[in-house]
Amino acid sequence: MMGVIANERLSWRLAELSSATGLSLPFLRKEARLGKLPTKKISGAVVVLHRDVLAYLQLDDERANNEQN
């Protein structure tokens, strides 16, 4: 029997990520185009892996903290 899949999302479409984070869709598209937000294309859909979302948000948080100091 296969293992149980956790309730954690595996990936996000950009529109879903925009709704979940409050970041605008054009901003997320720009970040992806610049390579700051890693994306994958699966069956024509652009998705961001959940682990990449967490890493992206962590990097952004670290940048903000560095600018304050």
| Domain range annotation of the chain | 11-68
DSSP string over 6-43: PSS-SEEEHHHHHHHH---HHHHHHHHHTTSS--EEET
Q: Is the pLDDT confidence value at 58 over 80?
A: yes
- Local structure of residue 4 (DSSP, 8 states): P
8 Å CB contact between 32 and 39: yes
Architecture of domain 11-68: Orthogonal Bundle (1.10)
Q: What is the mean pLDDT of residues 29-49?
A: 96
8 Å CB contact between 11 and 51: no
Between residues 1 and 60, the one the model is more confident about: 60
Q: Is the pLDDT confidence value at 32 over 60?
A: yes
Between residues 62 and 27, the one the model is more confident about: 27
For residue range 15-26, list pLDDT tens digits in order: 999 999 999 999
The pLDDT, as a whole number, for residue 1 is 44
The pLDDT, as a whole number, for residue 9 is 85
